Amino acid sequence: MQRVLPVRILAAMAAVLLLIFLAACGGGNKAPVATQVLLTPTTLSLNEGAVTGLSAIAQDASGNTVAADIAFTSSNPHIATVSTGGLVCGGVWDSSFINCNPTIGQGGVGQVTITATATAFNVSTTATVYVHEQVDLVEAQLANSCTTMGQPITVSGLAFSTTAPGCSPAAPCDITSTVGPFRFGSNDIQVAASSSGIQSTFSSSTNTPTYVAGGTITGSTGQTCNLSSFNGVTGATATVALTSSNTIAGGTHLTITNPGHGATVPPTTATLSNGTATCSGTASVNTAITPGVLTAQVPGATTVFASVSGVNSVGATYLTCPVQSIVVHGANSNNTSFTLTPPATQPLTADVYDTNNQYITPPLTWGSSSDAAATVVKGSSGNNPGTVTAVSGGTAYITATCSYPDCNRNVATQFSQNVVTINVTQPTATTAYAASTNSTTLVPINTATNTAGTPITLPYAPNSIIASPRGDFVYLGSSTALMAVSVSSGMIATASAPGTVVAISNDALYLLISDSGGGKLLYFNTSGTGSITGMTPGATSSSAYTPDSKFNEAVLANTNQVEFGFQTNAIGNFTLASNGTALDFSAQGASSYVTSATGGQIFVYSTCNQSLLQTFAETGPTLVKALPNAAGAVAADSPDIDLISTPPVLNAGCPLTTTSSIANFDLGAGSFTAQQLLVSSDASHAYVVSNLPKLLSFDLTTLTPSSATLAGGATAFNGGITIDGSRVYLGASDGTVHQIDTASMTDAAQIAVGLKDANGNPTAPNLVTVVP
């Protein structure tokens, strides 16, 4: 029997007298009045005999918590009872609310309403309780093979008992109809999320999403601050406008630029960063979650699961419909070729359809074949927008890709089916660099004057050289470390990544380094301090990145294996019919061309799944280079050059099925050993650097060969071509760098670079590159 103490009686009488006094005087604050009761959760699923709790609070009209006694009642105490503290029993509580006594079998199954009432204010709310036989097994079922991004996912759950009377593991009982609502989740919220992110439009009822306070701001009325890193909402971004100089008024509406997804709790803070104003710090925000049972997010694969009464199902394979096709063109026309003068821009768009043939706007990766000629970034308006900016004279080819990890997650990459051509008209002046494997000197050459500049002393003798596609660095490999030389300052940075630099990605963020001494391949991240990831043991002299800079392939030396991986990790390999020699990716990235000199073959592989598409029987093809205009590739095949012709618009989907043809053209120079294969940025000419005292040329428009004889009978080692294609610079056996005029095919200049070995003896420049 519950006792009431005298002290409590006196306290209650005092409180009543005080209220009467205040009311009589007509002054003081009115006592808060509860207008609603919030009950969490609002549904419960209980096995017979199980116990769980309800949480109840009273609030006033402004949403403030009000102290109030809450009473709980059950609509059917034979099925479920509730304690004074809100503990719900799937059965009947004993008198002390210690033991929950179930009714086993169908007699204990039912749906009960629990009512929570703030007794002093006569306001209440309810929760629904489903009491059922024990859940032992749950299954998730998907209604469709895939769901288009942005759409709700049609998923349902099944519940079974194997322990209830009359049930067994061999004959489980379906109790789905009795367990109440299922909860659904995903193992990758990038693909399928339990919410669509923060509320993207303003709601007057919840006053969200709004800026509350916080951060440092410098700007003018009408300027904006960026908001990101909303706590609990992956990928959400927004902007907020300044209402006066250096001020954002509390209650200002947020403009959601990306709602994020998968949040379970509304965020309360966000990070400020520069927009058109200068902003920093952390802001308080008032936001709500855009609800959804499960919503399809970016295209890709994951597993989804159902749960009820504390039991999770095994994951069911789920797809947000993958991207099936991408066609790139002008934003305001179907044009795919543009001529620009720096710093002009050109808006582009990509027509993207998924496997449901629905137009979608996934997170594409835009790529330029030459950032030095024209850059491309995601645009700010329209559907699937891209913005090209002209930088310097030359030609760039623009692609758009749906690839891991941003798009088509865990499924095959979809490359754009075509390219957009950007011709930039402006005279180009750049720098060539000459070095030697026998010297620690790097010599810059001004291509406008063909004069050698101040030599740069390297810490180690290099074994390879490659220029960044952005034109900002020159990378040199060595047996000790990687060296990065700044084009603007000549300063040198080193990293402990020994080996030969074989390939660089179009975005200049990744290098592939072949460490033959260590017997492995290394991925190197050029950003920040750099990071290294070892690949499967091996070495290579030929490797390439796809145009989106995310995928790499490398021919393992003296084997029939091709290694492939994403950015910083190897993930697998495929086997050629004969030992590989060299490879390159097509302009879109959808295929790779792989040569085999020993097997006399050229293989064409579909990049999305590494399946063999075609095999061409040739003489002894060695080096291969894709044509940047998506017309195919060329391969050195002494005494010929092999021209692989590929339709410029590829089929949709994976694998690639668009086939190529091949033709052979005698270069008219007799037998040669190819040392380097160059292609002009406008895809008009291919050049073969060989053991002959001449540069071999092939006009890809007229299909005719020509050559330029090197002065003094010198032979070339390697070199580079200017971005406008007007000049080729070759390091040669006579110790100079030869400049070949490609219009007249003449050796127009021989530039002395004065390289010397450790003993002070002259040494030939056998490492030459041209900064684009």
Q: How many Å apart are CA 456 and CA 13, to the nearest integer?
A: 93
At residue 532 the predicted structure's pLDDT band, cuts being 50, 70 and 90, is low
Peptide bond before residue 266 is cis, with ω within 30 degrees of 0: no
Q: What is the pLDDT of residues 403-416, one digit of tens each?
A: 999 999 999 999 99
Does residue 618 surpass a pLDDT of 80? yes
Q: pLDDT tens for residues 164-216?
A: 999 999 999 999 999 999 999 999 999 999 887 898 888 887 889 999 999 99
User: Average pLDDT of 331-348?
Assistant: 96
Pairing of strands 110-118, 100-101: unpaired
Average confidence (pLDDT) over 436-440: 98
At 405 the pLDDT is 92
723-734 pLDDT, tens digit per residue, is: 999 999 999 999
Letter for the amino acid at 364? Answer: L
Name the percent of the chain lying above pLDDT 70.
95
pLDDT digits (tens, 9 = 90+) for 672-720: 999 999 999 999 999 999 999 999 999 999 999 999 999 999 999 999 9
Are residues 700 and 683 in contact, defined by beta-carbon separation less than 8 angstroms?
Answer: yes
pTM: 0.85
The predicted pLDDT at position 205 comes to 79
Share of the chain above pLDDT 90, in %: 84
pLDDT confidence of residue 528: 64
**Predicted local confidence at residue 264, as pLDDT:** 78
| Domain architecture of the chain: domains with CATH | 29-132 (2.60.40.10), 137-191+297-319 (no CATH), 193-295 (no CATH), 323-424 (2.60.40.1080)
pLDDT digits (tens, 9 = 90+) for 22-58: 344 444 567 889 999 999 999 999 999 999 999 999 9
Strand partners, 198: 289
Mean pLDDT of 212-237: 91
Q: Per-residue confidence at 265, pLDDT binned at 50, 70, 90?
A: confident
User: For residues 270 and 121, is the Cβ–Cβ distance under 8 A?
Assistant: no
pLDDT tens, position by position, 64-103: 899 999 999 999 999 999 999 999 999 999 999 999 999 9
What one-letter code names the amino acid at 470? R
Q: Is 60 exceeded by the pLDDT of residue 17? A: no
* Calpha distance 562→553 (Å, rounded): 7
Q: What confidence tier does 660 reach under pLDDT thresholds 50, 70, 90?
A: very high
- Cα separation, 285 vs 35, whole angstroms: 26
